[in-house]
Amino acid sequence: MGMTMSQKILAHHAGLESVVAGQLIEANLDLTLANDITGPVAIREMEKAGFEKVFDRTKIALVMDHFAPNKDIKSAQQCKVCRDFSRKHDIVNFYDVGDMGVEHALLPEKGLTAPGELIIGADSHTCTYGALGAFSTGVGSTDLAAGMATGKAWFKVPSAIKFVLKGKKAPWISGKDVILHIIGKIGVDGALYQSMEFTGEGVSELSMDDRFTICNMAIEAGAKNGIFPVDEKTMEYIKNRVNREITVFEADADAEYTATYEIDLSALRPTVACPHLPENTKTTDELDKIEVQQAVIGSCTNGRIEDMRIAAEILKGRHVARDVRTIVIPATQEVYLQCIEEGLAKIFIEAGAIVSTPTCGPCLGGHMGILAEGERSISTTNRNFVGRMGHITSEIYLSSPAVAAASAVKGYICSPEDLD
């Protein structure tokens, strides 16, 4: 029986010729990741277990992104634990204020993730790196502690669902619309502990930023990981970023999938996930004029330069509605600098938005955009659970940057087409 992409990567890292779904394996890791929330827990567990050194100081990434710059004493203490640990073990890939970014945008940008690699992170959206043809997945802080100390982790090999993409995207349709459509179709547990493997001629229609967005939200369908095949766009992205040898894996023609879905990109419309689950999706055509008090454009899902350019294209020459607080968060320092150099930051500010330092901030209800009682936000983030962004009676509508920017201008949720 043939293997899927994910199964081939896991077999390779476990030193096995083949693996099957449900098999328990121990595999060697290429990278471990933690942030200022999950890192301290992993560090304490590692030290509690008696480990005095890390397995490889070049293969651990610690990113201070959730509450940095520190919003209070507790967040400052959390970051201090990570700073002290990084100094003690001379961690190469430690990113703090001034050179940090939202972790899942930063690591690919820095060339720390590459095709064929096996990556774990103490953050559920670690599945983002599947866009590069890697197997990456979120784990608990205890598993991460073991990974940082030993360079190994155990896995139950996942089965897989195949998503065959075809057709061409219409204007304003992005990877966010694709993944929201899929989650609306299969549900938040539709890919539970499975690999979401994307293929088909439609893959070439998707930019790398589209692919990062899609894999980022694989976890919102319950998936273990999301993964794309490696093509010319992948190789162009890692050029001048990744300076080590890579291995490209392809699914076998006879690989077994639990289900196959065809997604016609040309049929997609701007899509929004309504409260309080990512599966509660509707197209903008199906929504009444739902007023919003806040718009957030950023996060590990949609804070890359392509997202910034799309938002700026819509906001240029326009002004956000008076009652809509509009927060733009470039995901990394590099993206922030590009926004300045390309004049995007000027467009945002002239449109009445604010431009924040890179941070997870409002996505998890941390800071930089907390919602009050009864308020609604249109947001390019990845989760819209009850109380996710503030008060338990507040509401979050998930969308693409295009829809978020257009909605900020109109004051209610709409498609960019409604601005004409």
Give start and end residues of each alpha helix (H) in 118-224. Answer: 141-150, 175-186, 208-216
| Nearest partner of 298 among 323, 329, 321, judged by Cα | 329
Residue 230 token pair: 């490696």
Give start and end residues of each alpha helix (H) in 328-383. Answer: 333-341, 344-350
CB 127 within 8 A of CB 226: yes
Sequence length of the chain is 420
Q: Which residues contact 317 (CB under 8 A, 6 or more apart)?
A: none
d(CA 58, CA 66): 22
User: Residue 25: CA atoms inside 13 Å, Cβ hemisphere, count?
Assistant: 23
- The pLDDT value given to residue 135: 98
DSSP state of 200: S
- The pLDDT value given to residue 25: 98
DSSP state of 276: T
pLDDT per 10-residue tile (average), the chain, 420 residues: 95 97 97 96 95 96 93 94 96 94 97 98 97 97 96 97 96 97 97 97 96 98 97 96 95 96 97 96 95 97 97 97 97 97 98 95 90 97 93 97 98 92
The C-alpha angle 50, 52, 54, rounded to 5 degrees, equals 115
- Spell out the domains of the chain, with CATH numbers in brackets: 5-263 (3.30.499.10), 273-419 (3.30.499.10)
d(CA 68, CA 70): 4
Q: Enter the pTM of the model.
A: 0.95
Q: Which residue in the block uniquely carries the two structure tokens 């890919």?
A: 191
- The pLDDT value given to residue 124: 95
Peptide bond into 276 cis (omega under 30): yes
CB 332 within 8 A of CB 102: yes
Q: Which residue in the block uniquely carries the two structure tokens 């004493």?
A: 73
Residue 318 token pair: 């326009």
d(CA 79, CA 85): 10
Q: Which residue in the block uniquely carries the two structure tokens 């049929």?
A: 267
Q: Which residue in the block uniquely carries the two structure tokens 């926004």?
A: 339
- The pLDDT value given to residue 420: 76
* Number of neighbouring beta carbons within 10 Å of residue 374: 10
Dihedral-angle region of residue 390 (phi above 0 means left; psi in -120 to 50 means alpha; beta otherwise)? left
